[in-house]
Structure 1
Amino acid sequence: MTDMINRNRNNFDLLRLAGAMLVIFFTTYGVMGAYKLDPLFRLTNGVITTGGMGVLMFFIISGYLITMSWDKRRNIIRFLWARFLRLVPALAGVALLTIFIIGPLTTHQNLWDYFTSRTTWGYLSIITVFFPSYHLPGVFIHNPSNMVNAALWSLPIESTMYLIVLVLGVLGILNKKYLVTLLTLSILGAYLYINVHTAHIILPVMSHDIINQLKQYSQMVSYPLYFMVGSIYYLNHDKIKYDMRLVLLASIAWVLSFWYYELLLLTTFICIPYIVLGIAFTSIPYINGIGTKADISYGLYIFHYPVQQTVLNFFSLDTLTLLIATLLITVPLAWLSWHLIENRALNIKNIDIKKLSLKQKFNSGKFQN
């Protein structure tokens, strides 16, 4: 297993990058109020979107790697410190960029009102991860959507799952992998039953727009379950074998289920985690190790939306041109975020912990020179 998680021998970074790109692709439609034109939305009749698929990939990968992180560390402070350094510094960067550069450039209020507004300073709450803020005074008010950074919605859910892993780990429940597996599958079964029951009883009498909204809410509720599926894949990694032939068959089965709502819900849970992790652990020449020198996926995810909104604020563009413009601006921003903020933050995660450990030993009388 140690060899399998070597960053140069897996494709986790590449998959996270692909997930971020899928999200950017979808929000290009979303910021223009045209999310129904998303190809995957149209193919699956609104059950899943390209952006939803990208986020789904993030949750599966996080479930696997975060559970592994606890299993390797088994230290509350180290675990929380590592999560803090991965999420918060870059969020602080996007908050400052948004408040002090994007906001003043795009607000339709005078700068005095903008900077004295409680809403402006309340936007700093995004740094907490758990309390995202989506608006700034007078910003993007003439765009199809006036949300400043809608992509932040998933971070509280994912961070909550981190805490659940921590609690389960501290209580020793993660050591009982069969119990965790059974619990996850039971919740998953209940989720699928409720969705299928709803599809047969409630959806036939509802309007098309309400049905689409319910499908999106259902997809959002499913993300914690995908995280837990990723967790049980890690907990049972010694028993799971990945074969690219099975990955291909799973991919075909998933695509063939696009036109059957109930079947698509089931195949997505069964096939997609295996496909994602199968690709992650497959040795592919010239592909393995992509993204190891600069993991820009998180930067792409948290910076792209305000960039899209800013471009759309000044220019009237079609979706393809907006997508290209977004990437041309966001990729360099994400690269700078990695090298100036994220990587530097991650480099201190062990240094401070070691100092803390020495201090604890000294205070307990166990320190020896």
Structure 2
Amino acid sequence: MNVNDKINRHDNNFDFLRLAGALLVIFFTTYGVLGAYKFDPLFRLTNGALTTGSIGVAIFFIISGYLITMSWYKRRNIPRFLWARFLRLVPALAGVALVTIFIIGPLTTHQNLWDYFTSRATWGYLSIITVFFPSYYLPDVFIHNPSNMVNAALWSLPVESTMYLIILALGVLGILYRKYFVTLFTLLILGAHLYINVHTLHTILPVISHDILDQLKLYSQMLGYPLYFMVGSIYYLNQDKIKYDKRLVLMASIVWVLSFSNYELLLLTSFICIPYIVLGIAFTSIPYINGIGSKADISYGLYIFHYPIQQTLLNFFSLDTLTLLIATLLITVPLAWMSWHLIENKALSLKNIQIKNLSVMQKLNLRKVEY
């Protein structure tokens, strides 16, 4: 059975991987909201090159790159492509915006409710529904927490959505069908990213503090996520040439872990090994994990709800890392479950409604070209 058959038959582990990615992000932000991100185990093991959160986000971007490219190949229709992306992101974002503004905000603001609800910043928070222009603050909310950001996790959504539009543009222009060109171009950009990263590090290392260096490494991770997306995309474009094998997944994992002690080498092995590990797990039959998350995909709900829940808990209680993690999951998992059943799943059921538009292939007379 090829990988397309596995996707069509849901005989894959994408749901499990998305859930794992969300849990890794929650694990990391538990340290982050306490102002203790340097105590993240992976941060310490890799000297700041990676965090558990960065691996979680990379998983999302790799999977999205693969599946969004596949979505364009199947639809080749601009309105349907955009409609599917809208339904996946926006309804649940509207849900988290309303919960945050009308429940979390009033419970945690240090303003009186009249001032809170008449503040421009309160209603400006609805901008998170646009995806591209998230607001991170509510008036006098979480002002005594280590960070007063309401939902820092939303930063990745504009980046990922921009990548959706790039795939759309490449598809409409016909470039996406020139798979060798896309592959080569992505590899060149990746090479430039790695070179600039390492060159900059060695240039500024003698003149900056360790704290600034650690911050720069975190920003470097953020710049790498679009590349993970494009690597996921070229995996789809070259699916006929890529074979997934448990032994190769294990070998890639070992090579990646062995490179932890060398920052420059780890940057390279991460882009080589992590996508293969992720997609290898996705398409390899692994006992006990196949089918996890297939009944309810709560990963997106976990991702967008967990941060304000953590901040609310810290607003009222003094918690250590483990207690905060457990309390966050006890509250966020039911919220994510409700988000899936009451909002996301119902929205996704509208994905195939009739849209009056000819396919892009018909309107623009694009031809599928293989190179």
Structure 1 vs Structure 2: percent identity of aligned residues? 85
For residue 15 of structure 2, what is the aligned residue in structure 1?
13
Give the Cα separation in 2 of the matches to 1:206 and 1:2.
Answer: 49
* Offset, 1:10: 0.3
- 8 Å Cα contact 1:311/1:322 also seen in 2: yes
SS where residue 241 of structure 2 aligns? coil
The residue identity in structure 2 corresponding to 1:138 is: D
Alignment of 1:114-129 (within 5 A): 114-129=116-131
1:253-287 per-position Cα deviation (integer Å, ceiling 9, x unaligned)? 11111110100000000000000000000012332
Counterpart for residue 51 of structure 1: 53
CA RMSD of aligned residues (A): 1.1
Q: 1:205: how far off? A: 2.5
**Structure 2 Cα separation of the partners of residues 175 and 24 of structure 1:** 37
Q: Which residues of 2 match residues 204-353 of structure 1 at below 5 A?
A: 204-353=206-355
1:138 aligns with 2:147: no
2:362 aligns with: none
Which ranges of structure 1 fall in alignment gaps of 5 or more residues? 359-369
**Separation in structure 1 between the aligned mates of residue 350 and residue 161 of structure 2, nearest angstrom:** 21
CA distance in 1, matches of 2:204, 2:141: 39
> Does the CA-based 8 Å contact 1:295-1:338 persist in structure 2?
yes
Deviation at 1:74, TM superposition (A): 0.5
Query: Equivalences for 1:63-212 in 2 at 5 Å?
Result: 63-212=65-214
Q: CA deviation at 1:290?
A: 1.4
Contact 2:252/2:277 (<8 A) preserved = yes
Partner-residue secondary structure (3-state), 1:351 = coil
- In 1, distance between residues paired with 2:343 and 2:149? 25
> How far is the alpha carbon of 1:8 from its aligned partner?
3.1
Q: What secondary structure sits across from 1:158 in the alignment?
A: helix
| SS of 1:4 mapped into structure 2 | helix
Of residues 21, 38, 47 in structure 1, which corresponds to 2:40?
A: 38
Alpha-carbon distance, 1:123 to partner: 0.1
Distance across 2 between alignment mates of 1:265 and 1:2? 30
Q: Which amino acid aligns with 1:253?
A: V
Aligned partners of 1:81, 1:297: CA distance in 2, in Å? Answer: 20
Q: Which amino acid in the other structure matches residue 274 of structure 1?
A: Y
Q: Amino acid of the residue matched to residue 116 of structure 2?
A: Y
Deviation at residue 184 of structure 1 after TM alignment: 0.1
Q: Is the 8 A contact 2:79 2:357 kept in 1?
A: no
Residue aligning to 2:30: 28
Change (3 A) 1:284 1:338: same
Q: What SS does structure 1 have at the residue aligned with 2:4? A: coil
Question: Normalization by structure 2: what TM-score?
Answer: 0.94
Give the letter for the 1:250 counterpart.
Answer: A
CA distance in 1, matches of 2:19, 2:250: 21
What is the aligned partner in structure 2 of residue 363 from structure 1?
Answer: none
Stretches of 4+ aligned residues off by more than 3 angstroms: none
- Distance of 1:2 and 1:103 partners within structure 2: 45
Q: How many residues align?
A: 356
What is the Cα deviation at residue 357 of structure 1?
A: 5.5
The letter of the residue matching 2:230 is: M
Please say if residues 89 and 345 of structure 1, whose CA atoms lie closer than 8 Å, have aligned partners that are also in contact: yes
Q: AA paired with 2:133?
A: F
For residue 297 of structure 1, what is the amino acid of its counterpart? S
CA distance in 2, matches of 1:7, 1:337: 25
Q: Contact 1:62 / 1:230 at 8 angstroms: preserved in 2? A: yes
Partners of 1:307 and 1:329 within 8 A in 2: yes
Once the two structures are TM-superposed, the CA of residue 89 in structure 1 deviates from its matched residue by 0.1
Deviation at 1:251, TM superposition (A): 0.6
Deviation at 1:352, TM superposition (A): 4.1
User: What amino acid is the match of 2:206?
Assistant: P
